[in-house]
């Protein structure tokens, strides 16, 4: 986890829901990412995509058990990062 002055810039998480990151889940991530003032990125196996794009997120193919990283470019968006992390940890409300 990268940080600046104690504020987190990224979190690495494991996809917990059985269906993985499907269209509805990706849309929930993108909606939260769209609230950020700066960039939010979704990363799998070193491939980084714009987290505001449902299609970009889905292109990474993230089934249950996949490890992903969510990264923000500005510490002012830490609330967005934490919201996306909470969404992933709770299985997008599907657990």
Q: pLDDT tens digit string along 15-45? A: 999 999 999 999 999 999 999 999 999 999 9
Q: Of residues 22, 41, 85, 89, which has the active-site annotation?
A: 22
Would you call 21 a catalytic residue per the annotation?
no
Q: What is the CATH number of the domain that holds 58?
A: 3.30.1340.10
Whether 52 and 40 have beta carbons less than 8 Å apart is answered as: yes
Structural domain span for residue 75: 3-93
Flag whether the pTM goes above 0.85: yes
């Amino acid at each position: 986890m990268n940080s600046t002055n104690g504020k987190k810039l990224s979190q690495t998480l494991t996809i917990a829901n059985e269906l993985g990151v499907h269209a509805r889940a990706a849309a929930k991530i993108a909606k939260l990412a769209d609230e950020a003032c700066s960039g939010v990125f979704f990363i799998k196996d070193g491939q980084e995509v714009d987290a505001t794009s449902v299609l970009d997120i889905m292109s990474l193919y993230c089934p249950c058990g996949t490890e992903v990283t969510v990264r923000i470019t500005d510490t002012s968006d830490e609330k967005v990062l934490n919201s996306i992390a909470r969404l992933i940890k709770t299985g997008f409300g599907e657990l």
